[in-house]
Amino acid sequence: YMVLEFLKGRDLEEYIEDHIGMQIPISRTIGIVKQMCAGLQAAHDANIIHRDLKPSNVFLVPREDNDIPLAKVLDFGIAKIQESELEEGQQKLTRTGTVLGTPFYLAPEQLTRKSSSDLTAAVDIYAFGVILFQMLTGELPIEEPTVAEQMVAILTKNPPKLGDIREEFSGTALEIFIMRMLAKKPEARPATISDAWEEFEAAASILVEEDTGADEALRKHWETAYQPFLEDDAEQSFLQKWRWALLAAMVPLLGGIGWLIYRAVQPPQTKVVVVREKPQKMPELPQLQAEGIKAFNNQDYSKAIALWRKMTRSKQWKSSSKYYNPKIYKSLGVALIRKKLIYSAVKEYKKYLKSAKLEPVKKKQFEAFLNKLEANLAQRKKAALQLSGDLSLLLKRNAHDKARKSYRTFFKAGKKGPVFKPDPSLPGAYVKAGKSLEPYYPEEAVKLYKKALKLDTSKTQKSQLRQKIRRIEQDREAKSRKLLEQLSASIKAKKSRDAKKALTSLVRDYSAIPGVHDEIQKILKKNILEETRTTKRVIKTYAKEAKRLRASKSWTWLKSGGGKTLPDEKKLDSFVKDSATYKRTHKQFERAKEQLAKGKLSNALRRFTKLNERWQKLNTSSSWKEEIGVESKQTRQWVQRLKKAVEGWEKARKLHREERLHALNEETAGLLKLLEGSAAQEHFRKKLKKWEERHLKARKYLEDAEKHYNRRRWKRAETRYIWYMKMFPRSVRKKEVTKQIDECQCRRNVPWKICPKKYK
């Protein structure tokens, strides 16, 4: 037996029939759809495709504590279309004014694919789209009098738009979403039920009759006529056959009811023209609006502002366009108020007041509200003006520390630059404060000008600010660069007075420029090894000027900018000591490399071994950390390579003395590989080339001697044997060649004891 849950209520089919001629509230539709999506997604996650989704398979259970009924999706797991269901559908088709059965919810691919195993979750998404169409309009998207014609229509006919049946849906994001759900191609539909729910929620929430929380700007009927449906009038040519031909191709799919379809449909006299489907995507502006609403409801006002501003700055945002909706200005104003950006909010409210067609009473109320807001803004502008005056006065009196304190009262540091606390969106506050700071702290003024550029300012103001920023930056950069070059050239020329003068100007006037002190330290580091005396004098001046700058009143402005990299006296002293230690060790490193370049492998190995111990004792946290790391690594590598190279060289020399050319070539190949990347490699390559020439010459003598010996030219043979032995006295052929020399002498009747009697 089977145990089933007993449900009290009615199915969605009855619910839709009860609302024919009326409208199901959007809020209730959203509540039901959300539950259906959750159930279907759970099934899809378990690799279960419903395949027979329809209103009669969705059961609604009333709830006491909620106006929205509990929705349950029933009858999972149907693997194919039953003939009895098709017959039932045939009967329903003959009755007018009733909700149609299963055939009306079939996706196009269910009618064209040979195997049901090829079907995906997209068939449920299509059927779900049909159900949504019914819930919103009370009608089916595609409805024909017979089963056969219905199936042909599913494959060939485009469904109507929501706006064709309910005018209030015309051009809305919801209309576009439904067309995506009913796309002929599976890939044109939302990828998953979860994706479909997110799109539906974003599109439908715009039309909810209840307050969405985004003030009056986000209330019901958002005038979504600016969301057009993207049409494509291109025609397909692949269905240029009669309907009966198409149905004949469907016979294997429908099996036993093929005879019923063929009999029910007579060949018509017209050809079927099908509109080619494109993926129906929500246009950019409606999408931005929907995402902005969602962000606003989640209290992510910054994101909502960014999305809506992108929308209003689009080229498609024109008063003559369908996309245009002045209420967006009001929504922007609300979001900006929430972020305490009063100046920007006032500008958006003014745009709304100018563009929207308000009733006289509402317009008057809105103007009164705007006047209060502008009065509040005037106080903030007054605070900005007062700050500007205070800064100018205090800086003129050389009260830099007090000026900094006053500045911090109204400005705070932000990730993207300084922020004016009373109203971060007020560009005048940044510009006025920048003008006061420009003569004394140009870099700080540039930060304020750049911040003002990002705010709501006119094109003329933006152009003026850009020119001012460019002028300040180029002037400061050019002067500081000239002083840095002068510093470097003076140290190299050993002109310590000129070098000190350039350094003093850099520290006093250009410390606020980011990277200036880094450049100074690079120059000192570059020259201290070559021009030690002059560089040390400059470093002493550097330490004095750095100490003086830290003690000055302007340091409160500089320490948070370019002054962060200003070294102290202790750091500079440490730099001098580390430089002296590094210089001594570096010289030893260079000498070891010189020995290596000359081919003195043993001497180089001995020097590198001692150096390895010295590198380990050096302070790795010194100013020369990077150089120490590189050279110590090279030293360790050369110690390892030279140990093998020395052994290889000794073997090569022995093979050379023994005149073993082939073995010598093999041994020297490994030696050259060990010395790769050094001057020693070229040194040994030249030496080995000379050896090879010597070997070849000796071989030539030996070959000539053999020829003369065979022709009984004893004197000539003896001479060449002797030449060979002079070149390689320790040759592996020494015994053999010596014997040949003796024999040649005996053949010439030399009266030696050793000559056998047969030669005398």
Domain residue ranges in the chain: 10-210+237-264, 376-457, 473-567, 590-688, 705-759
pLDDT tens track for 587-636: 999 999 999 999 999 999 999 999 988 888 776 667 788 888 899 999 99
Instruction: Indicate whether 572 pLDDT > 80.
Output: yes
β-pairing, 411-414 vs 70-73, is: unpaired
The CATH superfamily of 10-210+237-264 is Transferase(Phosphotransferase) domain 1 (1.10.510.10)
Phi-psi region of 404 (alpha: psi -120 to 50; beta: other; left: phi over 0): alpha
- For residue 71, the cross-strand partners are 60
CB of 277 within 8 A of CB of 184?
A: yes
Instruction: Indicate whether 87 pLDDT > 70.
Output: no
- For residue 413, the cross-strand partners are 418
pLDDT tens track for 686-733: 999 999 999 999 999 999 999 999 998 999 999 999 999 999 999 999
**Average pLDDT value over all residues in the chain:** 82
Instruction: Indicate whether 130 pLDDT > 90.
Output: yes
pLDDT tens track for 531-546: 999 999 999 999 999 9
What does the H/E/C string look like for 155-191? HHCCCCCHHHHCHHHCCCHHHHHHHHHCCCCHHHCCC
Residue 277 carries which DSSP code? Answer: P
Cα–Cα–Cα angle for 109, 112, 118, rounded to 5 degrees:
60
Q: Taking residues 356-380, what's their average pLDDT? A: 89
- For residue 412, the cross-strand partners are 419
Q: What does the buried/exposed string (b/e) look like for 475-506 if buried means 16 or more CB atoms within 10 Å of the residue's CB?
A: ebeeebeebbebbbebbbeeebeebbbbbbbb
The span from the CA of 235 to the CA of 429, in Å, is: 60
Q: How confident is the model at residue 91 (pLDDT cuts 50, 70, 90)?
A: very low
Q: Taking residues 476-481, what's their average pLDDT? A: 94
Q: Give how far Cα 666 sits from Cα of 203, 472, 661, 675, 702, Å.
A: 78, 67, 9, 15, 23
Q: Which of 593, 582, 630, 633 is nearest to 612 (CA)?
A: 633
Q: How confident is the model at residue 65 (pLDDT cuts 50, 70, 90)?
A: confident
Phi, psi for 25 (deg, rounded to 5)? -55, 140
Q: Taking residues 280-301, what's their average pLDDT? A: 78
Q: Give how far Cα 705 sits from Cα of 273, 492, 744, Å.
A: 101, 67, 10
Instruction: Indicate whether 227 pLDDT > 90.
Output: no
Q: What is the pLDDT of residue 543?
A: 92
The span from the CA of 177 to the CA of 162, in Å, is: 10
Q: What is the pLDDT of residue 77?
A: 55
Residue 275 carries which DSSP code? Answer: B
Q: Which residue has the higher pLDDT, 173 or 659?
A: 659
Q: Give how far Cα 406 sits from Cα of 383, 395, 557, Å.
A: 12, 11, 12
Residue 189 burial class via C-beta count within 10 angstroms: exposed 0-12, middle 13-18, buried 19 and up? buried
- For residue 275, the cross-strand partners are 235
For the chain, the straight-line distance linking the first and the last C-alpha, in angstroms and rounded, comes to: 129
Instruction: Indicate whether 96 pLDDT > 70.
Output: no
Token code pair at residue 159: 């469904």
Token code pair at residue 257: 């009811």
Q: Which H or E element spans position 593? A: helix 569-597
Token code pair at residue 621: 């946290």
Token code pair at residue 489: 């050239």
Fold of 376-457: 1.25.40
Amino acid residing at 722: I
Amino acid residing at 307: L
pTM beyond 0.85: no
The span from the CA of 329 to the CA of 313, in Å, is: 11
The span from the CA of 327 to the CA of 349, in Å, is: 10
CB of 469 within 8 A of CB of 446?
A: yes
pLDDT tens track for 336-347: 998 889 999 999
Q: Which residue has the higher pLDDT, 242 or 150?
A: 150
Of all residues in the chain, the percent with pLDDT exceeding 70 is 83
Q: How confident is the model at residue 654 (pLDDT cuts 50, 70, 90)?
A: very high
Q: What is the pLDDT of residue 114?
A: 60
The span from the CA of 279 to the CA of 190, in Å, is: 9
Instruction: Indicate whether 323 pLDDT > 80.
Output: no
Least-confidence region, from 85-94, 118-127, 289-298, 308-317: 85-94
Amino acid residing at 248: A
Instruction: Indicate whether 248 pLDDT > 70.
Output: no
Per the listing, tokens 């040649």 go with: 744
Q: What is the pLDDT of residue 89?
A: 43
Of the segments 358-362, 575-579, 587-591, 615-619, which one has the largest average pLDDT value? 587-591
Token code pair at residue 666: 């093999």
pLDDT tens track for 151-191: 889 998 889 988 888 877 877 778 888 988 999 999 889 98
